[in-house]
Amino acid sequence: MSPGRPHAFIRLLGDCLRQAVKTSGALFRIIVPIAVGVRLLELVGAIKLLGQWLAPVMALVGLPGSMGLVWATTLVTNIYGGMVVFAGVAPGAGLTVAQVTVLATMMLIAHAIPVEASIARQAGTSFRAMAALRIGGALAAGALLHLGYTLTGTLQQPNTALWTPPPRDPSWNGWALGEARNLLCIFLVILALLILMRLLERFGIIDALTRLLRPVLTLLGISERAAPLAIVGMTLGLTYGGGLIIQEARAGHLSRRDVFCALALLGICHSFIEDTLLMVVIGGHLSGTLAGRTLFALLVTFCVARLLRLLPEPVLDRWFFSRQA
């Protein structure tokens, strides 16, 4: 190894560390106050009330009303919170594999809306547009899956969960410790991603991957500059991909349409590995949680890209884009 290489790597590490602190700081300013707000909503029973409101909606996707509380918890908190509630109410609901797959796919598409839509807002998209896209998308995907499974008669056997999550510590100390662990994990993952992205750029791997994906990305309306960030979000999660997109958007490297299309794709289809496996262990089938979700995300992103091209700028400014970027 030449003498200059260790120094170059140290400089790279220092640059990535500074960027990780900056990017994480921007995310933490979003996540921490919203996490406290969500905690307070849980304590006053607002999430249970939302579950009651959603109970009639569950019939549209072939689910019993009790699943409204599961989805409400997922929408406001996260997938883990929804899994805990599911473990409590599912045994008495008599669900089939098809029903659990429908619910699991909806949970994957629409969860942690206060946090994740706020992250998308910091990148330049409208909070309400992203929230509506994900919640409406979850209902549409759930209805399509329900229709498909009903017409074909597939996955109608009783569901058996492979794993039940342990109960959460309800105390403030337990909640605070859990949130602190989450924030530390976010910082470490972002740091690792920034280093990985720099190394992949240096060795030309990102260029090769972008060339390989160019036809699909062009069809979806996602630019080459946004492609690696979209891939990060799809594989690891919207928090990480969204954090990098915020950084690129504020640096002026991405257009507003690029940002919206990339976040539309990530909003519906992100965290391929972790989140999908979580839904498998409660009984969700890969035909919906992975294959169906991916195809649905590609279709929605294609339609969104075409819509953004047709609408005039004043309409986009009012309904689709945020001025907070």
Q: Judge contact between 38 and 74, C-beta under 8 A.
A: no
Contact 115, 83 (CB under 8 A): no
- In a domain, residue 32? The reply is yes
Rg of the chain over all Cα atoms, to the nearest angstrom: 20
Domain that holds residue 252: 24-165+180-319
Residue 282: how many other CB atoms lie within 10 Å: 26
Cα angle: 218, vertex 223, 226; to 5 degrees: 135
CB atoms within 10 A of CB 203: 10
pTM exceeds 0.85, yes or no: no
What per-residue confidence (pLDDT) applies to 190?
76
Strand partners, 321: 125
pLDDT in tens, the chain (325 residues): 455 566 777 888 888 888 888 878 877 887 888 888 888 888 888 888 999 999 999 999 999 999 999 999 999 988 888 888 898 888 888 999 999 999 999 999 999 999 888 888 888 899 999 999 999 999 999 999 999 999 999 999 999 888 766 677 778 898 899 888 888 887 887 788 778 777 877 787 767 766 776 677 777 777 777 777 777 777 767 777 777 787 777 777 788 888 898 889 988 988 787 788 889 989 999 999 999 999 999 999 999 999 998 999 999 998 999 865 5
Q: 16 in a domain, yes or no?
A: no
Instruction: Tell me how far the alpha carbon of residue 8 is from its chain's centroid.
Output: 35
Q: Does 9 fall in a domain? A: no
Residue 171 belongs to some domain of the structure: no
Q: Do residues 190 and 239 touch, judged by C-beta distance below 8 A?
A: no
Q: What is the token pair recorded at 189?
A: 């993952």
Task: Determine the pLDDT at residue 108.
Answer: 96
Query: Is 196 among the domain residues?
Result: yes
- Residue 2 domain flag: no
311: Cβ contacts below 8 Å, ≥ 6 apart:
320
Q: Does residue 175 fall inside a structural domain?
A: no
List residues bridging with 158 in a β-sheet. 96
- Cα separation of 90 and 319, whole Å? 38
The answer to whether position 1 is within a domain reads no
8 A C-beta contact, residue 196 and residue 235: no
**Predicted pLDDT at 1:** 45
For residue 184 the two structure tokens come to 């530390």
Q: How far apart are CA 200 and CA 197, in angstroms?
A: 5
In the three-class reduction of DSSP (H, G, I as helix; E, B as strand; rest coil), residue 154 is classed as: coil
- Count of domains observed in the chain: 1
Using the 8-state DSSP alphabet, how is residue 163 labeled? -
